[in-house]
Protein backbone atom coordinates (compact mmCIF):
# COMPACT_ATOMS: atom_id res chain seq x y z
CA UNK A 1 0.00 0.00 0.00
CA UNK A 2 2.74 2.47 0.94
CA UNK A 3 4.77 1.62 -2.17
CA UNK A 4 1.73 2.25 -4.41
CA UNK A 5 1.11 5.60 -2.69
CA UNK A 6 4.77 6.53 -3.16
CA UNK A 7 4.59 5.73 -6.88
CA UNK A 8 1.38 7.75 -7.26
CA UNK A 9 2.93 10.80 -5.55
CA UNK A 10 6.07 10.56 -7.70
CA UNK A 11 4.00 10.39 -10.86
CA UNK A 12 1.91 13.39 -9.74
CA UNK A 13 5.03 15.51 -9.29
CA UNK A 14 6.42 14.33 -12.63
CA UNK A 15 3.16 15.31 -14.32
CA UNK A 16 3.41 18.85 -12.94
CA UNK A 17 0.75 18.50 -10.25
CA UNK A 18 0.97 21.08 -7.46
CA UNK A 19 -0.43 21.33 -3.93
CA UNK A 20 -3.83 23.02 -3.50
CA UNK A 21 -3.76 26.82 -3.45
CA UNK A 22 -5.06 26.76 0.13
CA UNK A 23 -1.74 25.20 1.21
CA UNK A 24 0.31 28.17 -0.01
CA UNK A 25 2.18 30.16 2.67
CA UNK A 26 1.36 33.84 2.22
CA UNK A 27 3.70 36.65 3.23
CA UNK A 28 1.88 38.94 5.67
CA UNK A 29 -0.08 38.15 8.84
CA UNK A 30 1.11 34.75 9.97
CA UNK A 31 4.39 34.91 8.05
CA UNK A 32 6.39 38.06 8.77
CA UNK A 33 9.41 39.36 10.64
CA UNK A 34 9.81 42.68 12.43
CA UNK A 35 13.60 43.10 12.58
CA UNK A 36 13.72 45.50 15.54
CA UNK A 37 11.66 47.15 18.27
CA UNK A 38 12.12 49.75 21.04
CA UNK A 39 13.79 48.18 24.06
CA UNK A 40 13.57 49.40 27.67
CA UNK A 41 16.54 51.25 29.09
CA UNK A 42 19.16 49.12 30.83
CA UNK A 43 18.72 50.99 34.11
CA UNK A 44 15.03 50.09 34.09
CA UNK A 45 15.86 46.41 33.64
CA UNK A 46 18.36 46.64 36.47
CA UNK A 47 15.73 48.25 38.70
CA UNK A 48 13.57 45.12 38.41
CA UNK A 49 16.45 42.64 38.63
CA UNK A 50 16.36 42.50 42.43
CA UNK A 51 12.57 42.27 42.73
CA UNK A 52 10.52 39.10 43.14
CA UNK A 53 8.17 37.93 40.40
CA UNK A 54 5.41 37.46 42.99
CA UNK A 55 5.66 41.08 44.17
CA UNK A 56 5.70 42.40 40.59
CA UNK A 57 2.64 40.30 39.78
CA UNK A 58 0.75 41.68 42.78
CA UNK A 59 1.31 45.24 41.58
CA UNK A 60 -0.35 44.37 38.26
CA UNK A 61 -3.46 42.97 39.93
CA UNK A 62 -2.26 39.36 39.55
CA UNK A 63 -3.20 39.24 35.85
CA UNK A 64 0.21 39.24 34.12
CA UNK A 65 1.83 36.05 35.44
CA UNK A 66 2.09 33.15 33.00
CA UNK A 67 0.24 29.94 33.69
CA UNK A 68 2.14 27.90 36.32
CA UNK A 69 2.61 24.94 33.96
CA UNK A 70 5.38 26.97 32.31
CA UNK A 71 8.24 26.16 34.68
CA UNK A 72 12.00 26.57 34.92
CA UNK A 73 13.31 23.28 33.49
CA UNK A 74 17.03 23.78 33.03
CA UNK A 75 18.31 23.37 36.58
CA UNK A 76 18.07 25.32 39.84
CA UNK A 77 15.98 28.41 39.09
CA UNK A 78 17.94 31.51 38.16
CA UNK A 79 16.67 35.05 37.79
CA UNK A 80 15.73 35.81 34.20
CA UNK A 81 15.12 39.35 33.02
CA UNK A 82 15.16 41.05 29.64
CA UNK A 83 13.04 42.51 26.86
CA UNK A 84 10.84 40.06 25.00
CA UNK A 85 11.70 39.02 21.46
CA UNK A 86 8.42 37.35 20.52
CA UNK A 87 8.02 34.35 18.22
CA UNK A 88 4.77 32.79 17.02
CA UNK A 89 5.13 29.40 15.34
CA UNK A 90 2.94 26.82 13.69
CA UNK A 91 2.51 23.94 16.16
CA UNK A 92 5.37 21.47 15.78
CA UNK A 93 7.49 23.77 13.61
CA UNK A 94 10.48 25.87 14.69
CA UNK A 95 11.75 27.63 11.56
CA UNK A 96 11.06 31.03 13.13
CA UNK A 97 12.72 30.02 16.41
CA UNK A 98 15.92 29.46 14.44
CA UNK A 99 15.50 32.81 12.67
CA UNK A 100 14.89 34.61 15.97
CA UNK A 101 18.53 33.96 16.88
CA UNK A 102 19.50 36.35 14.06
CA UNK A 103 16.92 38.95 15.11
CA UNK A 104 17.25 39.01 18.92
CA UNK A 105 19.95 41.12 20.53
CA UNK A 106 22.16 40.22 23.50
CA UNK A 107 20.12 40.35 26.70
CA UNK A 108 16.78 39.62 25.00
CA UNK A 109 14.47 36.87 26.25
CA UNK A 110 13.03 34.88 23.34
CA UNK A 111 9.37 34.15 24.11
CA UNK A 112 7.82 31.43 21.94
CA UNK A 113 4.10 30.95 21.39
CA UNK A 114 3.95 27.27 20.45
CA UNK A 115 0.22 27.04 21.23
CA UNK A 116 0.96 24.80 24.24
CA UNK A 117 1.42 21.90 21.80
CA UNK A 118 2.69 18.64 23.26
CA UNK A 119 3.39 17.07 19.85
CA UNK A 120 6.94 18.31 19.26
CA UNK A 121 9.79 20.03 21.03
CA UNK A 122 10.43 23.44 19.48
CA UNK A 123 14.00 23.84 20.73
CA UNK A 124 16.77 21.85 22.33
CA UNK A 125 20.51 21.65 22.82
CA UNK A 126 21.63 23.10 19.49
CA UNK A 127 19.37 26.16 19.60
CA UNK A 128 20.25 26.82 23.25
CA UNK A 129 23.97 26.52 22.44
CA UNK A 130 23.61 29.04 19.62
CA UNK A 131 21.52 31.36 21.82
CA UNK A 132 24.10 31.30 24.60
CA UNK A 133 26.84 32.25 22.13
CA UNK A 134 24.64 35.11 20.87
CA UNK A 135 24.17 36.46 24.40
CA UNK A 136 20.45 35.67 24.59
CA UNK A 137 19.23 35.81 28.21
CA UNK A 138 16.97 32.75 27.96
CA UNK A 139 13.84 31.15 26.50
CA UNK A 140 10.23 31.13 27.63
CA UNK A 141 8.25 28.54 25.66
CA UNK A 142 4.52 27.94 25.70
CA UNK A 143 5.18 24.41 24.52
CA UNK A 144 7.71 21.61 24.88
CA UNK A 145 11.51 21.36 24.60
CA UNK A 146 14.05 18.52 24.47
CA UNK A 147 17.72 17.64 25.18
CA UNK A 148 17.21 18.76 28.75
CA UNK A 149 20.36 17.13 30.15
CA UNK A 150 22.53 18.97 27.62
CA UNK A 151 20.67 22.24 28.16
CA UNK A 152 21.19 21.96 31.91
CA UNK A 153 24.90 21.40 31.33
CA UNK A 154 25.00 24.81 29.62
CA UNK A 155 23.25 26.40 32.63
CA UNK A 156 21.05 28.24 30.16
CA UNK A 157 17.63 29.47 31.39
CA UNK A 158 14.69 27.69 29.76
CA UNK A 159 11.10 27.93 30.94
CA UNK A 160 8.64 25.56 29.21
CA UNK A 161 5.65 23.30 29.79
CA UNK A 162 7.58 20.04 29.55
CA UNK A 163 9.86 17.82 27.50
CA UNK A 164 9.51 15.35 24.66
CA UNK A 165 12.11 13.60 22.48
CA UNK A 166 10.08 14.32 19.32
CA UNK A 167 11.76 17.00 17.26
CA UNK A 168 10.16 19.78 15.19
CA UNK A 169 9.76 20.47 11.49
CA UNK A 170 11.39 23.45 9.77
CA UNK A 171 8.85 24.65 7.23
CA UNK A 172 7.11 27.71 8.66
CA UNK A 173 5.06 29.80 8.73
CA UNK A 174 5.41 32.02 11.78
CA UNK A 175 6.05 35.55 13.05
CA UNK A 176 8.82 37.35 14.91
CA UNK A 177 8.27 40.45 17.08
CA UNK A 178 4.51 40.69 16.68
CA UNK A 179 2.10 40.26 19.62
CA UNK A 180 1.72 36.70 20.89
CA UNK A 181 -0.11 34.87 23.65
CA UNK A 182 2.14 32.96 26.02
CA UNK A 183 0.79 31.15 29.05
CA UNK A 184 -2.47 33.09 28.90
CA UNK A 185 -0.83 36.53 28.74
CA UNK A 186 -0.47 38.79 25.70
CA UNK A 187 3.21 39.64 25.13
CA UNK A 188 4.47 42.46 22.90
CA UNK A 189 8.03 42.76 21.66
CA UNK A 190 9.92 44.91 24.17
CA UNK A 191 7.80 43.99 27.19
CA UNK A 192 9.96 43.16 30.19
CA UNK A 193 10.10 39.46 31.07
CA UNK A 194 10.98 38.64 34.68
CA UNK A 195 11.37 35.05 35.83
CA UNK A 196 12.45 33.26 39.00
CA UNK A 197 11.52 30.14 40.97
CA UNK A 198 7.93 31.40 41.22
CA UNK A 199 7.44 31.57 37.46
CA UNK A 200 7.25 34.29 34.83
CA UNK A 201 5.61 37.72 34.85
CA UNK A 202 5.18 39.96 31.81
CA UNK A 203 5.64 43.67 32.47
CA UNK A 204 4.23 45.89 29.71
CA UNK A 205 7.01 48.27 28.77
CA UNK A 206 4.72 51.32 28.72
CA UNK A 207 3.81 50.80 32.40
CA UNK A 208 7.18 49.66 33.76
CA UNK A 209 8.15 52.93 35.47
CA UNK A 210 4.72 53.28 37.06
CA UNK A 211 4.74 49.69 38.34
CA UNK A 212 8.28 50.03 39.70
CA UNK A 213 7.38 53.15 41.67
CA UNK A 214 4.30 51.51 43.14
CA UNK A 215 6.26 48.39 44.05
CA UNK A 216 9.07 50.32 45.77
CA UNK A 217 6.48 52.24 47.78
CA UNK A 218 4.77 48.99 48.80
CA UNK A 219 8.04 47.35 49.87
CA UNK A 220 9.06 50.38 51.93
CA UNK A 221 5.72 50.52 53.72
CA UNK A 222 5.67 46.79 54.40
CA UNK A 223 9.30 46.59 55.56
CA UNK A 224 8.46 46.90 59.26
CA UNK A 225 5.75 44.25 59.01
CA UNK A 226 8.22 41.91 57.32
CA UNK A 227 10.80 42.52 60.05
CA UNK A 228 8.21 41.76 62.71
CA UNK A 229 7.20 38.65 60.81
CA UNK A 230 10.80 37.42 60.80
CA UNK A 231 11.07 37.92 64.56
CA UNK A 232 7.69 36.32 65.27
CA UNK A 233 6.15 39.53 66.68
CA UNK A 234 3.28 39.94 64.25
CA UNK A 235 -0.46 40.47 64.54
CA UNK A 236 -3.22 38.90 62.53
CA UNK A 237 -5.73 41.56 63.57
CA UNK A 238 -6.26 42.57 59.94
CA UNK A 239 -7.93 39.20 59.31
CA UNK A 240 -10.58 39.90 61.97
CA UNK A 241 -11.08 43.37 60.52
CA UNK A 242 -11.79 41.90 57.07
CA UNK A 243 -14.13 39.27 58.55
CA UNK A 244 -15.98 41.97 60.48
CA UNK A 245 -16.60 43.98 57.32
CA UNK A 246 -18.10 40.79 55.82
CA UNK A 247 -20.45 40.41 58.80
CA UNK A 248 -18.58 37.65 60.61
CA UNK A 249 -17.75 38.83 64.13
CA UNK A 250 -15.67 37.18 66.88
CA UNK A 251 -16.47 33.51 67.41
CB atoms within 10 A of CB 4: 8
Beta carbons of 66 and 231 less than 8 angstroms apart: no
DSSP character at residue 217: H
The answer to whether position 188 is within a domain reads yes
Q: Is residue 227 part of a domain?
A: no
Residue 16: predicted pLDDT: 60
Q: What is the pLDDT of residue 223?
A: 79
Tell me whether residue 61 is in a domain: yes
* Domain-embedded: residue 82: yes
What pLDDT score does 251 carry?
65
For the entire predicted model, the pTM comes to 0.87
ω before 19 within 30° of 0 (cis)?
Answer: no
- Tell me if 24 is assigned to some domain: no
Which residues does residue 113 pair with via DSSP β-bridges, in sequence order?
88, 142
Q: Please write down the HEC assignment for all residues of 169-191.
A: ECCCCEEECCCEEECCEEECCCC
Specify the pLDDT at position 1: 44
**Nearest alpha-carbon partner for 120 in 51, 177, 167, 80:** 167
Instruction: Please check whether residue 170 lies inside any domain of the structure.
Output: yes
Full domain range(s) for residue 120:
42-222
In a domain, 159, yes or no: yes
**pLDDT tens, residue order, the chain (251 aa):** 444 444 454 554 556 667 787 778 889 999 999 999 999 999 999 999 989 999 999 999 999 999 999 999 998 888 999 999 999 999 999 999 999 999 999 999 999 999 999 999 999 999 999 999 999 999 999 999 999 999 999 889 999 999 999 999 999 999 999 999 999 999 999 999 999 999 999 999 999 999 999 999 999 988 787 887 788 888 888 899 999 999 997 76
Does some domain include residue 245? Answer: no
Q: What's the CATH code of the domain at 209?
A: 3.50.30.40
**Domain count of the chain?**
1
β-strand 174-176 against 185-187: which pairing, if any?
unpaired
Q: How many CA atoms lie within 13 A of 6 on its CB side?
A: 3
The region, left, alpha or beta by phi > 0 then psi within -120 to 50, assigned to residue 136 is beta
Amino acid sequence: MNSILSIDCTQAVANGASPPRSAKIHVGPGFRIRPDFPRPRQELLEAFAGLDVADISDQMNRLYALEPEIKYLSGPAKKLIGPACTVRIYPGDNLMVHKSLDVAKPGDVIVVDAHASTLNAVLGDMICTKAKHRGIAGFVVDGYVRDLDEVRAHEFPVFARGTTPVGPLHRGPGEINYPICCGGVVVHAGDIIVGDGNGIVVLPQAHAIEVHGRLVDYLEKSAEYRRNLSSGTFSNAWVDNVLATLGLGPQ
